[in-house]
Amino acid sequence: MVLSAMSGTTNALVEISDFIKNNKSTEALINIELLHKKYCLVLDELIEEPSLKKDVFDYVNTVFAFLKACTFKKHTELLYNQIVSQGELLSTYFFTKYLHQENVNAQLLPALDFMRIDKMNEPDDFYIQQNLQRIINEGGPAEIYVTQGFICLNAFGKIENLQRGGSDYTATIIGAAVKAEEVQIWTDIDGMHNNDPRFVENTYAISNLSFDEAAELAYFGAKILHPQTVMPALKANIPVRLKNTLDPKSYGTLISKDFKGEGIKAIAAKDGITAIKIKSARMLLAHGFLKKVFEIFEKHETSIDMITTSEVAVSLTIDNDSNLPAIIEELEKFSTVEIDNQQSIICLVGHLVVRHHETHRLFQVLQDISVRMISYGGSNNNISLLVNTNDKITALKSLNSYVFDYETT
């Protein structure tokens, strides 16, 4: 069982880290105290057995003593990672002791004893498999093994993390390492929906998705799944099932190698997109133009989401503009550059969607929405539209009506 932090904890820890970074130790200490009280209340409700309660109480006090000590330290990336890791350490300790109280033979496996990423920030599969098996063997048999999601060590042995939502990713990495029959991800929604239920009414859960379809949806905005989650499961051919904690009997969504159904299955949107139009300073057939453009983005470690080209220009999108000033400076040495901020990518996903006979219906959205770019044909399972973020909700509703053939309000 892979656990993330208790609801709201990671956000609170990030805020505490920001206060420390900005030399606001008083504010950090106030927030630490508030979070400490919250955990003490949960402890009182969850653990009844006196000796177990004392163990958890002592552990909680140790964690919050560490957080208070952090307010006197110089803020670094390592300190940030140490602070935000405490949420998973707390939740797994609480839950393991609760299982012991319920007479369940549970064993806590510290993720920092086996979960490691390499210098490329990819899971170190061999290290993970070898060390996970070692600590399971050392601890002996148990009914349930509990570990932390999200947190890991980097290639240099320092605390790191798999980014927000990384507990799902941890689960599939471990699932692949132990050759699981299935990985289940439990959340508060009954599977991956055909559209974003925050903006569109009457959406429904999709019963079956392929790995490719799920990966596209996760990358382009479906919040239920961490974008990299499906990759370890795909490599190991292990099905991933999304389940609803509030409705355990619901089927959820099963993600596997199998393709079921045709046409557009789901729509997702990704915000925070920057569109960049790059026009060659030379006229037609500028040799090596695209090569130079891509080399600049690679140099500045900035990935590209969408791309369209013409004879003398290329338009592309990025979702991380932290290195944009340096990129623009280099591009302007041989081209003119135009920037559009506050854009959103709307992704339409389905098996062989670009070949389906009803796919043309989605282009009816062009009569209602100004579409900045279209990516069609780069993937058999995905068509992407770039729109102004102000038009996103209207576009999602219109596409929902055109594609799924029922009205939304």
Q: The domain spanning residue 302 has which CATH number?
A: 3.30.2130.10
Same domain? For 232 and 272 the reply is no
Same domain? For 8 and 132 the reply is yes
Does any domain span residue 349?
yes
Does any domain span residue 161?
yes
Q: List the domain range (segments joined by +) for residue 182.
A: 2-256
Tell me which H or E stretch contains 294: helix 289-299
Does any domain span residue 288?
yes
Does any domain span residue 409?
no
In degrees rounded to 5, what are phi and psi of residue 171?
Answer: -60, -45
* The dihedral sign for the CA sequence 206, 211, 213, 218: positive
**Whether the predicted pLDDT of 283 surpasses 90:** no
Let me know: does 73 contact 19? Beta carbons within 8 Å: no
**Span 233-255, pLDDT tens digits:** 999 999 999 999 999 999 999 99
The pair of structure tokens assigned to 109 is: 């496996």
- How many whole angstroms separate alpha carbon 404 and alpha carbon 397? 10
Does any domain span residue 122?
yes
Same domain? For 232 and 284 the reply is no
Does any domain span residue 219?
yes
**Span 23-67, pLDDT tens digits:** 999 999 999 999 999 999 999 999 999 999 999 999 999 999 999
Interior CA angle at 224 toward 220 and 229, to 5°? Answer: 75
End residue of a domain, out of 192, 227, 256: 256
Q: What pLDDT shows up at residue 127?
A: 96
| H-only helix segments in 47-165 | 50-70, 77-84, 86-101, 125-139
Please, which residues have CB within 8 angstroms of residue 357's CB and are 6 or more apart in sequence?
Answer: none
Same domain? For 208 and 83 the reply is yes
Does any domain span residue 46?
yes
Model confidence band, residue 165 (pLDDT cutoffs 50, 70, 90): low
- How many whole angstroms separate alpha carbon 33 and alpha carbon 264? 49
End residue of a domain, out of 202, 221, 256: 256
Same domain? For 244 and 287 the reply is no
Same domain? For 158 and 244 the reply is yes
Model confidence band, residue 409 (pLDDT cutoffs 50, 70, 90): very low
Same domain? For 214 and 105 the reply is yes
* Average pLDDT value for residue range 222-239: 86
* Average pLDDT value for residue range 58-78: 96
Same domain? For 133 and 64 the reply is yes
Same domain? For 282 and 364 the reply is yes
Same domain? For 303 and 226 the reply is no
Q: What pLDDT shows up at residue 8?
A: 93
Q: What pLDDT shows up at residue 408?
A: 40
Stronger pLDDT, 404 or 96, i.e. the higher one: 96
Does any domain span residue 311?
yes
Same domain? For 24 and 81 the reply is yes
Give the chain's mean pLDDT. Answer: 90
End residue of a domain, out of 227, 256, 285: 256
Q: What pLDDT shows up at residue 407?
A: 40
In this predicted structure, which of 104-118, 142-156, 210-224 has the lowest mean pLDDT? Answer: 210-224
Same domain? For 240 and 284 the reply is no
Q: The domain spanning residue 127 has which CATH number?
A: 3.40.1160.10
Number of domains in the chain: 2
Q: What is the DSSP string of 121-147?
A: SSB-HHHHHHHHHHHHHHH---SEEEE
